[in-house]
Structure formats: C-alpha cells, structure tokens
Chains A and B, each alone.
Chain A
C-alpha cells in the first residue's frame, strides 16, 4: 500500500470517527446548517464570495451560469442515487440506466407539450396536462419499464445482465430517433411544460431565465430520495439486497427470494431515474433522441463507481464531480478557449476510473462492506475459486 493511500485512509478515518464521536444534536445541527447552505448557494450575493483562499480563482462556474451548473448536478445526482440502489445495494450491473431517465423525460414531454403529437395529430388529449400531474405518471411508467425489463433479464447474472441492459438503453434511443409517429425523432418535442407556481408579482417561478427554482426543487427531491434510500437499506429489503450483492447463492440459501428482491431494486432505481428525467425535461423544455446516447448511461455508472457504489455519500459526490468539475474547469481563466473540456471528459474519467479500480476500488467515499467484498473477490481470483 502506498503512503498516499495510507494518508487518505488515516485522514478519512479520523474525520469519520470525529464526526461519529460528536453528540447527536451537533450532528443534526451541522447537517441542517449544511442543507441551508446548499439552499442559499445559488444566490449571486452569496456565491460571489466563494473563492479558493489566497488566490482569486472562483469556486463557482463563470462559463455557464452557476445555478445552471448546480442544477445539472442535481439531476445527475438523482440518477446516481437511483443507480446506487440497483448497482450499489443489489449489485446488479445496469449499463442502460439512462433508458429510464428517457422514459421519464418523454412521458412528461408527450403529455405537457402543446406540440405533442398526442394533441396535434391523434387528438388523444385535448390540451396539454400540467407538469405536476404528469410526474407520477412518468415515474410509474419508468417503474413499469423497470419491471418489464427486469422480469426476463434478472434471471441472468453479472455480465449477461450488463449486456441486456445496455441493449435496452440503445433500443430506446434508436426507437426515439427513428420512429416518427409519436416521439418525433431528432426534431424532438418542444415547449415541454414547467413545474407550477407563480411569484407574488405574477411571474412564473419555474421560468426559463432563472434556474435557481429548478435547483431548489432538485435539491429537495435529492433529500427525499436520500431518506427513502437510507430507510430501505436498513430494512429487511435492504439486507436482502446486500446479501444478494455479496453472494447470490448464499442469499438464496438463507431463504431470500432473490428474484423478487432484484426486481424490487430494479423498479425502485428505475422510478428514481424516471423522476430525474421529469425534472430535466421540465427545465430543458425540449426533449429529443440525442440526449439519450450510450455515453450518458456509462457516465452515470462511472460517476457512481468514482464516488463509491453502495454509499449514499459516494453516489452524491460522484454525481456532483462528474457534472460540476468539467463545467468549472471550462470557466477557468487560464485555460485556453481552444481546449474543450467536455471533449476530453470521457478520456479523463476513463483514466481516473482505471487508476481508482487499482488503488481504491471502493470509490472516493467507499462503503465499508464493499471494500471487504472487493478484497474477497480478489482472493477468489487469486485462489481460482469461482
């Protein structure tokens, strides 16, 4: 083990035990303060003062508006939190997770846009529905597609499951691009509905110019999903998921109905992915097939592995870093404009992930159990036991 690893281990252990050692009320207060900080964050009067101490380099983005960058991070974090249930808790390698995001986004777009063919051509709807009404529908449809995809495929294990889910996301993207009768291919669906609400002066809260309300909404949803995830993983369901992840045969021998719980994980993850899609569609107000490229599915998975699969903190950290760091780098003054950070994003992540898998396979913020699982698997490979 290198000294850098040792240093990291010692530091994170010290921080961890110091945190756990504090009285409960201190921890709750600190958490509340941090949440308040997150809500205040996108206000210009506040974030203007966030700089790297000593040098005058801003921590906020300048290339893209800071609240927008934060909002991008929120829907990505929702995705990583959703995938964390599937992949982090239950250990199912889902390479097509973005497909559920697409289901959520398209459902909202089709039902809320006045340009939707459901209204203009087929007259199934008389007028666009409000965004809020379509969210539960979109989430249910994402859940349903998770169950439909999981039903035949969850009997497969490991690599096979990865291949099938990869196919699923590609099928959704290709259908969206090539068929014309409803999803409208690359031309997409415009004028997607926004979340409801008006300020006291009559202007819409969720407008086009101000991204802050979307960020606040996203942040609120994240907090909600954190609570759900935490309670799930501590329940009987969660214990079954962890058992399946650690050793599926052994889980079955303990009397865990593995297929049922894997399907559960798939459905839960899918609905959170769909929820993220509804949020994104509401803000973006335009949905077309090019958003749902394969790279995005891989990006979500990469984010989760980078942060630490199986830990909520890791999922959040990974989702945030993957979106925010490239945006931030782009706005650095000393980076020449000819370098498009986005272009190298996958290359850099690729390298980081390979390095991580070698030195820190559990991710930046690892789950204690998973670290031991990786070691165990390495041992099996070494011994040759399958």
Chain B
C-alpha cells in the first residue's frame, strides 16, 4: 500500500471539513476522488500534502505514519501536488517554475532527464520556456503545474482539479497525459469535478459528499452506478 488514509478529520477553525475519511491508494494506480463543490476534495488533498494539519486520524505513506511530517519533508518522501487553479509562480519563467519543482533534488543529471521528459509530455511548455508563468493561458498553466509536480520525481502525484477552467478538448488531452504519466510508473491520485473523465481514466474511485466518503469502487463500476450517474454525470 502506497498511501493509506485512516479515518482523518480536519477543521477550518470551528468548521469541520472532513468527517473521518478513509481511503487507500495502491502502487501504480490512478485513483480518482470525485464530488461536488465544497465536498472536501481539495481539503483532502491539502491534508495529504501537509498544507493543512489533520485533527485526528492517520496518514500512512509507504507504511510510515506521516501525519505530523511537515509539507516540505513529505515532498522529499515522494509526495508531490499540483495545486488547484492558478498554482504556478506567475513571475518565474516556465523553466524557472520547472526548476522549482526539482528544488529538493541535487542530482543534476537526472533532473535534466526529467526536464526533457516533461518537455516531451508537454511540447507547449518547451515553446514557452522563457515566458513568465503569469502570461500563459489557463491550459498552459495547468500543464505547467502538472509538469512542475513531476519534476520532484514523485512516487505519488496528487492532482487537484487538473481540468478546471479548461476547454473540453484540452481536458481530453490533459487526461491522456495523466494516463501516460501513470503508465510510465507514477501513482496518481486525482481530484475532479469532471467525473466523466476521471472515472473513465481511473482504476478506482471514491465519491466524497460533505466531508464523508459515500461510495467507492472501480472506475467503470461507478461510471455505471445509477446514483453517481444522477448526481455527477448529469444523466437521469
């Protein structure tokens, strides 16, 4: 088991955002976490990456309890997150953003390799290498955020709403790339509002509602689940 979340709760001040969530991610999987706005998807991501402390429960990574490990040290352990929305450094160039992704690493030869790999995955970034992050389009920023997260050579890649604000064709494209990244050996946990895409790409998925996991199963199963269809796929 690569990641095991055991009954975690999380508070924003006095408001409880997560009410005891448990989920697992196996080595090599793509796992999707779907749910409506405000269900706690991004909060779960922030708990895993360490941006937000959990109130109770346990987060295990590679068999070790990392609940109290600082966010920056979780990166070194192999967890890398691409943040939601405009998460790129706006003043840094594309190249500088990608270099920041490798901030914790010192193996410059391997970093150069990974840089090539990211540029291969996202040829657009290569064209825009010297351009500042803030001048990119929404789709390009999203690619940059994903590419940057890959630069730490993570064991677990956390993607928070990679399709947010993108045109349908770009959504297709970015999910194809996510599948490709996964096939190259990186485990992926993806949070999505676009349930259709997420479920058809994921091996397994969890459905989150107001801070609780209400359903889980394989991607295809959930895709054909009547309740999920009604609530998230816009099909009666």
Contact = CB atoms under 8 A, between A and B. Distances in A.
Interface of A: 236, 239-240, 242-243, 246-247, 249-258, 367-373, 375-376, 379-380, 385
B66 to A, nearest CB: 14
Contacts of A253: 49, 51, 71, 75, 80-81, 83, 87, 149
B91 A373 contact: yes
A372 B134 contact: yes
Interface residues of B, number: 33
A57 B101 CA distance: 55
B133 interface: yes
A271 B224 CA distance: 64
Given A243-B103, A250-B83, 13 more contacts: A239-B99, A239-B103, A240-B103, A251-B100, A252-B72, A253-B75, A255-B75, A256-B72, A258-B72, A368-B132, A369-B92, A372-B135, A376-B134
A373 B103 contact: no
Given A255-B76, A372-B134, A249 B103 contact: no
A366 to B, nearest CB: 11
Interface string B77-99: 00011010111111110001001
Nearest to A253: B81
A372 B91 contact: yes
Contacts, number: 89
B124 interface: no
Nearest to B91: A369
A370 B132 CA distance: 11
A18 B89 CA distance: 29
A247 B89 CA distance: 6
B152 interface: yes
A380 B73 CA distance: 29
B70 A257 contact: yes
Contact of A246 (B91, B149, B152): B91
B176 interface: no
Contacts of A368: 91, 132
B104 A375 contact: no
Interface of B: 49-51, 70-73, 75-76, 80-81, 83, 85-92, 96, 99-101, 103-104, 132-135, 148-149, 152
B229 to A, nearest CB: 30
Contact of A250 (B70, B76, B89): B89
B137 to A, nearest CB: 12
Contacts of B100: 239, 243, 251, 254
A246 B90 contact: yes
Contact of B86 (A240, A369, A370, A380): A380
Contacts of B99: 239
Contacts of A367: 91
A298 B141 CA distance: 36
A312 B28 CA distance: 48
A246 B104 contact: no
B132 A255 contact: no
Nearest to A245: B91
Contacts of B76: 255
Contact of B103 (A256, A370, A380): A256
17 contacts: A239-B96, A242-B89, A243-B92, A246-B92, A250-B87, A250-B89, A254-B103, A255-B73, A256-B103, A368-B132, A369-B92, A371-B91, A372-B132, A372-B133, A373-B91, A380-B86, A385-B86
A116 B214 CA distance: 72
